[in-house]
Amino acid sequence: MNLGKKILIFLGMAMLCSQLAVATPFPEPDHTSIPEWIMIKKLMFGEREIKDGSNDVLALYLNTKLDDSSTVPIMVNALMEQTEEKFIKTLYLVIDRNPIPTAGVFRFKPEAGRVKLETRLRFEKFSFIRAIVETNSGDLYMDQRWVQVAGGCSAPSGKNANDPLLGKMRFRMDDQIRLNEPNLVQFQIKHPNESTLASDLEPGYAARFIDKVAVEYNGKTIMSGDINFSLSDNPIFKFYFSPQSEGTLSVRAEDTHDTVFTDSLEIGADRL
């Protein structure tokens, strides 16, 4: 089933499950018995086994008690190296009770050396967030956290859709880059990433958010992803790449108004 069809199913499913939302804190429930997750798991993975990966495959980190539900930083760290023999090929970020539970589907290559992803998310209701990875052998592993914040997807938008700096990107990385080793790089895109539930969204206006992102080094894909408005405005992405020589790190992002944004960064001898 393609991503578009899944999203439509998820939207309908979320409406059916909306009566399960709560407005006050309560003890963390059993993550395996959440009704939304049971349906999501069936739709996305069928009867495939999802193992606990928190000991040796991946770790999900975040502050589980936050005030701002529209900007929740999260970090997923792989606990295994990326090798040609065994590597993480896909990372799914699932927020059980968001309007679109699949916040992002990210794809990686063994050339990255190591998998790490940091970004910022919106939470509409108290929910588990789940990081699920699939290895090249087809095995699925998961780590999850319970988050007690709500209202992030329906919060007012940033009102910067007509900003002249829309799509501008900013890169951050170490001054010194190590060849043939994983190096951290971060980029941020100036974009409202409007939620379809934003309280100040004008009637008839189609929310504008980034839905595709891809990163390449010397024309070779490092990371790509399908995302949505579950990511906060001005989305940030932090991940590893492992260059073998001088080259060009390039980013391409596309939003739901069919606008393409690109930028690049030269990795020259002065950084190596």
The pLDDT score that the predictor gives to residue 158 is 64
Residue 25 lies in a domain: no
Residues 115-153: pLDDT tens digits?
Answer: 999 999 999 999 999 999 999 999 999 999 999 999 999
For residues 41 and 140, give the distance between their C-alpha atoms in angstroms, rounded to a whole number: 11
What CATH number corresponds to the domain at position 51? Answer: 2.60.40.10
Examine residue 101 and state whether it is found in any structural domain, yes or no.
Answer: yes
In a domain, 46, yes or no: yes
Q: Where are the alpha helices (DSSP H) in 46-197?
A: none
Residue span of the structural domain in which 246 resides: 3-19+31-271
- Judge contact between 243 and 271, C-beta under 8 A: no
Residues of the chain with pLDDT under 70: 1-26, 64, 158-161
As beta bridge partners, residue 59 has: 77
CA distance 78 to 53: 9
Tell me, what's the pLDDT at 160?
A: 60
Structure confidence at residue 161 (pLDDT): 60
Task: With respect to residue 24, please indicate whether it lies within any of the assigned structural domains.
Answer: no
Residue 182: DSSP 8-state: -
Q: How many domains does the chain have?
A: 1
* pLDDT confidence of residue 19: 34
Q: Which residues contact 270 (CB under 8 A, 6 or more apart)?
A: none
